[in-house]
A = this chain, B = another copy of it.
Amino acid sequence: MTDISRQPVTAVIGLGSMGMGMAQTLIRAGFETHGCDLRPESLETLIAASGHGAATPGELSVTPDVTFIVVVNAAQTRSVLFGDNGLAARLTPGALVVGCATCDPDDARAIAAELAVLDIDYLDAPISGGSVKAAAGEMTIMASGPSTAFAKARSALDALARHVFEVGTEPGQGSQVKLVNQLLAGVHIAAAAEAMAYGIQGGCDPNVLYEVITQSAGNSWMFENRVPHILAGDYNPHSAVDIFVKDLGIVAATGQATKFPLPMTAQALTMFTQASAMGYGREDDAGVIRVFPGVDLPARAANDEG
């Protein structure tokens, strides 16, 4: 069994912008932290920050107590755990895996069940907040799992997040809450784009629109956060259009599988898919406004690479 009285050895699999920030936060909080990524430059960055790196889980120099898998979807999570040089075979009974990808809840339940056979705990723990908050230890975690799993993760979760929401005792519940958040986030970005395009086309000054709406009942977190990208003509990606093609795609697929209608989701997904088909998939998600033809948008910023 893992000894939870000592500081756990942690690992982060997937050193993208979120995973790297999380690994650096764990190191700063005093955890022995290992990272895996196939990109040598990511491992160099981690090692420079006093972490330990390996290309694959099979090559880790230790057996971590708590491993965060910070990849983009359930298929990659499965590959990390059960693929070649996979993590599951390396871990000792009593270890904890924390799955951070946005997944279909059915996938989270299936992964937890496969790990349970090996006596490995699983926390279904999607994350939110972006890379800046990940690096600052201020992100949000929406997690579900047994109390034993939360106990093992507690010190690391507290280091990583400002808000740790314990949304249930069963795997899948964390993923379900995350999908509800992504549904709203995606619909609100699409709505912000539609509202700005409509207002500009109707003769409104876009800066005035932003000032009025952010102080009125039409405001949303996403409107307030993303519309400045439109005003600045800066579509360098903070979060890309294709992320919402993916995430709203997961939401729509769960609705389809359970025969549950999701009309607003379907419409927003169509808009992000259309923007991607127009060639804007890797631009900032505020770029979904390009699906509205003939709108006199603020000029592109000089530093915009789109």
Residues of A at the B interface (CB closer than 8 Å) are: 105, 128-129, 140, 142, 163, 165, 167-168, 172-173, 176-177, 179-185, 187-188, 190-192, 194-199, 201-205, 208-209, 211-213, 215-223, 225, 251, 254-255, 258, 260-268, 270-271, 292
Contact = CB atoms under 8 A, between A and B. Distances in A.
A205 B168 contact: yes
11 contacts: A165-B208, A177-B204, A177-B208, A181-B212, A181-B216, A185-B218, A188-B188, A191-B264, A194-B265, A263-B270, A264-B267
Contact of A187 (B105, B182, B187): B187
A221 B219 contact: yes
A208 B143 CA distance: 12
Nearest to A194: B264
B263 A211 contact: no
A261 B190 CA distance: 13
A177 B205 CA distance: 9
Contact of A204 (B173, B190, B221, B255): B173
Contact of A263 (B196, B225, B271): B271
A251 B194 CA distance: 12
Contacts of A105: 202-203
A260 B201 contact: yes
A223 B183 CA distance: 13
B261 A268 contact: no
B212 A221 contact: no
A213 B184 contact: yes
A293 B176 CA distance: 19
Contacts of A209: 177, 180
A225 B212 CA distance: 18
A213 B163 CA distance: 12
A172 B176 CA distance: 44
A165 B211 contact: yes
A33 to B, nearest CB: 26
A273 to B, nearest CB: 12
Contacts of A258: 201-202
A195 B176 CA distance: 11
Contacts of A188: 188, 191, 218, 220
A198 B217 contact: no
Nearest 8 CB-CB pairings of A with B: A184-B218, A220-B220, A181-B218, A180-B199, A176-B202, A187-B191, A267-B267, A219-B221
A203 B167 CA distance: 11
Contacts of A222: 217-218, 220
B198 A262 contact: yes
A197 to B, nearest CB: 8
Given A180-B198, A180-B202, A183-B198, 19 more contacts: A105-B202, A165-B211, A176-B203, A177-B209, A179-B202, A180-B213, A181-B212, A182-B218, A183-B218, A184-B218, A187-B264, A188-B191, A188-B220, A194-B263, A198-B262, A202-B254, A217-B221, A219-B220, A220-B221
